[in-house]
Chains A and B, each alone.
Chain A
Amino acid sequence: MRRSGKLSLLVSLFVLCGVLLTACGGGSTTGTTSGGSSSTPAGKTVTLVTDIGGINDQSFNQSAYTGYQKAMSQYNFKRSVIETQSESDYVSNLTRAAQSSDMVVGVGFLMASAMDQVARAYPTKYFALVDSCPTDPKDTNKCDNLSNVAPLSYKEQQAGCLAGVVAGKMESLGKARVSKLQGNNTISAVGGMEIPAVVHYIAGYQYCARQVDPSVSVKINYSNNFQDTAKCQDIANNQITQSKSDFVFQVAGGCGVGALQAAQAKGVYSIGVDSDQAHVNSSVVTSAVKRVDTSVYDIIKALQGGKFTAKPPVFDLSNDGVGLGSFSSAVPAEVQPVVNEYVKKIKDGSLNIPETVQ
């Protein structure tokens, strides 16, 4: 018994030594790998840091990834994507990304403070932030204008406006052409939260729907949530049954999918947001689209061409930064010309859409 005990001790000691040795061995080969990777890239390297949803979220992150992929194939840099797993990782993920590449694209407004810190720590690297601008911790109310960060912002009111045109036109066509109208001449919107990006959409929606059909009334509610489908479903149900709303425009991300479902269940129409949400169900007549992919592609293109600017153009209809998704079969042919007319008006500047709800 004694001898065997010693033997097993020896074995365990060997195992321990082995573990320690492999750990040391790992350290000595660092130089070769980092040297190898730096020689391969053809273009400047770009890392995409997504928010928690990840690159398959059917929304923002996915759209950003689509733009990233397009740029990747065009400029032939190595794929480098970090999907954030927890809010406490923003800073370390952005830092890692900044260390390993020339530019970092961050997705989502929750990164505003983290981006500010990391961009200040790495002044020689470039950064882009989708849907927000870096904010100084001391004053979160305004943007911190850093020369190496490009905030990518969008004129959501233009996309909202076109959605409003579709809804307003269909209302004015009446029940003869649009079968599911409830007859109260009311449309509605479900907002996630009263933050600028959401309010812009709804302001445009309301304004342009009234332009097309002055008699239409617009009901607006906020769920104060971007995740819980049940909340938006409740709100949409109320809008449909109590206010007799015919169109539910969701501006609440994942929560808003519940609003689209409510419209389907109650047999009315709905309008998607951010990406083309026609796939959700057949009640979706169109979507107010924010082309995150275009903006991400454009900023990477600018970097590769040596034209990075901390003040990129605001993405709007003229540079294909916002727009309208595909029409469903429920949309009558008369709608398209009206939409085209408004696109033209917005582009030539003759239509001034307010940024806030009237």
Chain B
Amino acid sequence: MAMPTVQRRTSTPASRLTRWMHTLKSSLGRPLIAVLVAFILGMIIVMIASPGALGDRFNTAVSAYYNLVMGSFGNIQSISYTLAKTTPLIFTGLAVALAYRAGLFNIGAAGQLAVGAMVAGIIGLKLGSLPGVILVPMMLVASMLAGAFWGSIVGILKAWRGAHEVVTSIMLNWIAFYVCAALVEGPFQAPGLSQQTTPLSASATLPSLANLYNQTLGTIFGQIPLAAQYTVDVSLLLAFVALVVYWFLTSRTTFGYSLRVIGQNPKAARYAGISVKRNLVLAMALAGAFAGLAGATRLMGQSPYQLISSGFSSDSTGFDAIGVALLGRTTAIGVILSALLFGGLQQAGPFLQLNVGVPGDLIYILQALVLFAVAVEYVPSFQRFLPPFMRRTKPVLAPPLVPNLIKSEALLEHASGSSTAGPPEATLTDNSVGATDAPTPATSQED
């Protein structure tokens, strides 16, 4: 039984692959099961809600899921719609995830998004005559600053006044919604229309990916026909950049490390000389900047390129982001996968209504069930019923709020079974693996 410790340190390509697969399995396990449980429950709900004999009900449920897949990823156009929905979910998902790393539950992404969209909109409407090269970056930066400002209010209140971030961010949401709505209905209302602004001028918008391709590479490699029906815009690329920035910040910088320490134990962090207050504010500001970008890029990238006053409070992106971040276990890869899931679900809603006659609300039921399943953490209770070889799960990619507890328990178990020389080294490597999400230099030195 002392073997594993030694074998874990050899790093032949095969064993690296094995370890990578282990990591993948243990980090994907819980979210996948959560999604699976949600889909099974959703199926039961459709069967209860639909009319007809049991066989008909089953058929309805099956065709509902079939259409769910077709509506979200069934053809290129659907995929492009899904990606367009995914983009703001990625941004806001990162906004929630980043704050979560620091132990803050950012419910305020919706408000930060609204503020970002509004500020970008104001600049786009007021300075619409500027050329796009100047205007677009200006709007993006302004939306980030606005979101960061809105987010940092929460951070400051938390750091210096101890106000709970859940309460303050919810309150700030409503302030943001109504201030923005008042601005849209007041000074920025389109002449002749109500509750909406004039659409942005062409120079203030982001081109769709298909159009961009047609104007650049398309001239060499052939045009995409009917480019207008592929709506996903270049902000998807910005979202990827944001993901990389997020990954780098959280796992390659001292800032990211400080955040994680604060998230796990603020007192220990202070004791270790980390400025908790500064980092909390910074984390919330960055989170707000991500969310602000979500608002600006959707306004600038998706038609009808206008702000609608009732749209701020009815938009669920900021709240879905909580699900995206938690289901994705706050990792960059996780956020992108769960944003795709949520974006796909939402995009399939109309498709479902059209083709199956199932109310589009099924989508929201499914989302809620996924969240519920994540929150309940089914895996531990299921494990008792699993055969022994499936019981081992060690969250490695995951940065949960109580990771050290789980890990140290596992280590203790390990230590009691193996030689006494094992534990200290194991603790070291385990920590560094957890911290960087990747094979560490320490392991390769062992060769």
Q: Is B432 an interface residue (CB 8 A)?
A: no
- When chains A and B are docked, how far (Å) is the Cα of A193 from the Cα of B194? 8
Residues of chain B within 8 A of A280, CB atoms compared:
none
Q: Is A183 an interface residue (CB 8 A)?
A: no
Q: Are B22 and A110 in contact (CB under 8 A)?
A: no
The 5 closest A-B pairs by CB, nearest first: A4-B389, A87-B311, A137-B199, A141-B192, A113-B304
Q: B23-67: contact bitstring with A at CB < 8 Å (1 yes, 0 no)?
A: 011001100100000000000000000000000000000000010
- When chains A and B are docked, how far (Å) is the Cα of A224 from the Cα of B189? 13
Q: Are A110 and B196 in contact (CB under 8 A)?
A: yes
Q: Are A7 and B192 in contact (CB under 8 A)?
A: no
- When chains A and B are docked, how far (Å) is the Cα of A118 from the Cα of B303? 10
Q: Are B191 and A140 in contact (CB under 8 A)?
A: yes
- When chains A and B are docked, how far (Å) is the Cα of A194 from the Cα of B410? 67
Q: Is A59 an interface residue (CB 8 A)?
A: no
- When chains A and B are docked, how far (Å) is the Cα of A33 from the Cα of B70? 11
Interface window among A95-103, A291-299, A307-315, A343-351: A95-103
Q: Is A117 an interface residue (CB 8 A)?
A: yes
Q: B304-341: contact bitstring with A at CB < 8 Å (1 yes, 0 no)?
A: 11101011001110000000000000000000000000
Q: Is A81 an interface residue (CB 8 A)?
A: yes
Q: Are B303 and A8 in contact (CB under 8 A)?
A: no
Chain A nearest CB, measured from B56 CB (Å): 16
Contact A88/B315 with A2-B7, A9-B21 known, Cβ cut-off 8 Å: yes
Q: Please classify the interface of chain A as helix (H, G, I), strand (E, B), loop, or mixed, using the class held by over half of its residues.
A: helix
Q: Is A142 an interface residue (CB 8 A)?
A: yes
Q: Are B347 and A92 in contact (CB under 8 A)?
A: yes
Name the interface residues of A1-43: CB closer than 8 Å to any CB of B: 1-2, 4-9, 11-13, 15, 23, 26-27, 30, 33, 37
- When chains A and B are docked, how far (Å) is the Cα of A87 from the Cα of B304? 10
Q: Is B231 an interface residue (CB 8 A)?
A: yes
Q: Is A79 an interface residue (CB 8 A)?
A: yes
- When chains A and B are docked, how far (Å) is the Cα of A81 from the Cα of B1? 63
Q: Is B246 an interface residue (CB 8 A)?
A: no
Q: Are A109 and B193 in contact (CB under 8 A)?
A: yes
- When chains A and B are docked, how far (Å) is the Cα of A195 from the Cα of B309? 15
A–B Cβ pairs within 8 angstroms, 20 of them: A8-B390, A8-B392, A23-B69, A26-B74, A27-B74, A30-B74, A30-B75, A33-B355, A80-B353, A83-B353, A83-B359, A88-B315, A90-B304, A91-B303, A92-B231, A137-B199, A140-B192, A140-B193, A193-B194, A195-B194
- When chains A and B are docked, how far (Å) is the Cα of A30 from the Cα of B389? 39
Q: Is A86 an interface residue (CB 8 A)?
A: yes
Chain A nearest CB, measured from B191 CB (Å): 5
Q: Is A157 an interface residue (CB 8 A)?
A: no
Q: Which of B25, B69, B298 contacts A26 (CB 8 A)?
A: B69
Q: How many residues of A contact B (CB 8 A)?
A: 55
Q: Is A357 an interface residue (CB 8 A)?
A: no
Residues of chain B within 8 A of A113, CB atoms compared:
196, 199, 303-304, 306
- When chains A and B are docked, how far (Å) is the Cα of A209 from the Cα of B398? 70
Q: Are A12 and B193 in contact (CB under 8 A)?
A: no
Q: Are B390 and A9 in contact (CB under 8 A)?
A: no
- B-side interface residues toward A, CB under 8 Å? 1, 3-4, 7, 18, 21-22, 24-25, 28-29, 32, 66, 69-70, 73-75, 81, 84, 185, 190-196, 198-199, 228-229, 231, 298, 302-306, 308, 310-311, 314-316, 346-347, 349-351, 353-355, 357, 359-360, 364, 388-390, 392
Q: Are A26 and B66 in contact (CB under 8 A)?
A: yes
Chain B nearest CB, measured from A138 CB (Å): 8
Chain A nearest CB, measured from B377 CB (Å): 19
Q: Is A89 an interface residue (CB 8 A)?
A: yes
Q: Is A232 an interface residue (CB 8 A)?
A: no
Contact A83/B74 with A8-B390, A88-B298 known, Cβ cut-off 8 Å: no
Chain A nearest CB, measured from B184 CB (Å): 11
- When chains A and B are docked, how far (Å) is the Cα of A11 from the Cα of B150? 46
- When chains A and B are docked, how far (Å) is the Cα of A92 from the Cα of B232? 11
Q: Are A26 and B304 in contact (CB under 8 A)?
A: no
Q: Which of B25, B228, B308 contacts A8 (CB 8 A)?
A: B25
Q: Which of B306, B350, B364 contacts A96 (CB 8 A)?
A: B350
Q: Quick one: closest B residue to A225, CB to CB?
A: B185
Residues of chain B within 8 A of A12, CB atoms compared:
21, 24-25, 28-29
Q: A102-124: contact bitstring with B at CB < 8 Å (1 yes, 0 no)?
A: 00000001101110010001000
Chain B nearest CB, measured from A273 CB (Å): 16
Q: Are A97 and B354 in contact (CB under 8 A)?
A: yes
Q: Is A286 an interface residue (CB 8 A)?
A: no
Q: Which of A37, A47, A91, A93 contacts B304 (CB 8 A)?
A: A91
Q: Is A85 an interface residue (CB 8 A)?
A: yes
Residues of chain A within 8 A of B74, CB atoms compared:
26-27, 30
- When chains A and B are docked, how far (Å) is the Cα of A227 from the Cα of B229? 34
